[in-house]
Amino acid sequence: MRLHRTEISLPAGDVRLDGILTEPPRPPGVVIVAERIGRRLDETRGAVIAAVLQEVGFATLQVGLLTFEEGQRAPDTWNQVPTLCARIAAVATWVQRQPTLKTLPIGIVARDVAAGAMIRVAARADAPFRALVGRDARPDLAGLEPLHNLVIPLLLVVGGLDQETLQANRQAFGQLDGPRKLAIVAGASGGFKEPGTFDEAIHHITGWFVRWLVTGRR
């Protein structure tokens, strides 16, 4: 399958975010893979997720939510949920304005604090997303109201050995009313470093996007 790959720089308030847009022929949807910094995106675990999503036909946008300078000089920006919310919203707006993407259903996968921001954005009435995935996520950081208001299907994938993150996911999961699933990868610590566990996590992630972006099945 021939893939069209473009390095992009998109506006997000007073900064620009770096990313890689990869488009296969006639994709059924586009998945935003939210990363920490938009440098060396080919070397991240998000790149592995993106590659598998491309194999099943999705367009993907890997994008860093921090600038390189922020990553070097102001790394705590990653922990600022309102800032990440604004940037995730800006990325979604950019996708909606691209001629080849604007008619496609949009999914997003985010990790850690960014997953909390993703949920907060997705809980808004005008949210453009059709499906959400949090990996190694902190959905609790979204806040109770966004969790209660969320109607977009949400998958949370967490390692069974990562007790702190697992507890945060279970607590947030209990606040959700919309379509949701908690996938616990047995024998996995934070980051799914154990052999075979990241592959299992990706299997859950891919299946969720196929379910909700392609078939729309409940």
CATH number assigned to the domain comprising residue 73? 3.40.50.1820
- The token duo for 195 is 């052999």
Q: Is the pLDDT of residue 1 over 70?
A: yes
Domain extent at residue 119? 4-215
Cβ distance 212 to 181 under 8 Å? no
Domain count across the chain: 1
pTM of the model: 0.96
Q: What is the average per-residue pLDDT within 67-95?
A: 95
Q: Is the pLDDT of residue 143 over 60?
A: yes
3-state secondary structure of 57: coil
Q: Residue 185, class by beta-carbon neighbours within 10 Å (0-12 exposed, 13-18 middle, 19+ buried)?
A: buried
Task: Give pLDDT, residue 204.
Answer: 98
